[in-house]
Amino acid sequence: MTDLSTRPAAASGTFALGGDLPVHRLGFGAMQITGPGVWGEPADRDEALRVLRRAVELGVTFIDTADSYGPYVSEDLIAEALHPYPDDLVIATKAGLTRPGPGEWLSLGRPEYLRQCLEMSLRRLKVERIDLYQLHRIDAKVPLEEQLGALRDMQNEGKIRHIGLSEVSVEELEESRKIVDIVSVQNLYNLTFRKSQPLLDHCEREGIGFIPWFPLATGKLAEPGGILAEAAERHNATPAQLALAWLLHRSPVMLPIPGTSKVAHLDDNLAAANISLSPEEIDQLTALG
């Protein structure tokens, strides 16, 4: 039996990506372990490695990264910290963005580039197959059939287990599913920003994993005296922990991946999995958005 006090991520429950790849729902996003502007090496490389190892110790079985984080730095750190990987650890990565400099992101979805990205991610992560490979952005300059067709070909070659998308609409998701099976989407979604609510509802109906990026945003909702702050005080928790707990209660297909470069912050984030919200609290927090 899993000890939820020492492996709190397990308390978040389990979701099976593609129906056959189970992960604990509260995962770890590995963007922030790079340098400023998601560029270059982290200020404290040893701490970044400790964060990754600690995440696994605390029950995280789903780590999300991308070749563009660094670029390449995040994948390299994951391999250095965790390879050979635990049997239950799923590492998801992405391709389709290039990085001219700090804070800059450009779409590039040409099939030959996506293939090159996959081969290099396999090498950096030291694996023969990527469990979840995500198209970081749909490139409007390249036919969707060509972009997803490249991923489908590499899946047929055994180099990709499952395919996901990032920042898409319901219509784009359904168009993509005519080309290849899609098991997850990753869109901006949090307590204060819910433009992707129709997509979340659609994913829940279809059994598709929904990975909310920037999950910790609370903004003015965290100000003293507000509903979020009062709820956090009742639970002896932080507003950020309540925001994560709300996400986990929001939908069974929700897979939050809060990221950090500090072990202490990681411990706080994952403790959110043990927070149980009442139906009234969920309704109050939901109404805030």
Give per-residue pLDDT as tens, 166-178.
Answer: 999 999 999 999 9
Other residues' Cβ atoms within 10 Å of the Cβ of residue 27: 25
The answer to whether residue 2 is domain-embedded is no
The answer to whether residue 274 is domain-embedded is yes
The answer to whether residue 172 is domain-embedded is yes
d(CA 166, CA 188): 9
- The strand pairing partners of 97, in sequence order, are 107
Other residues' Cβ atoms within 10 Å of the Cβ of residue 238: 20
Query: What CATH number is given to the structural domain containing 181?
Result: 3.20.20.100
The answer to whether residue 176 is domain-embedded is yes
Number of domains in the chain: 1
The answer to whether residue 3 is domain-embedded is no
Catalytic status, residue 133: no
The answer to whether residue 158 is domain-embedded is yes
* Residue with more model confidence, 4 or 226: 226
The answer to whether residue 1 is domain-embedded is no
The answer to whether residue 205 is domain-embedded is yes
Give per-residue pLDDT as tens, 43-75.
Answer: 999 999 999 999 999 999 999 999 999 999 999
* Range name among 56-60, 102-106, 214-218, 245-249 with the lowest pLDDT average: 214-218
State the residue range of the domain holding 230. Answer: 8-288
The one catalytic residue in 69, 72, 133, 189 is 69
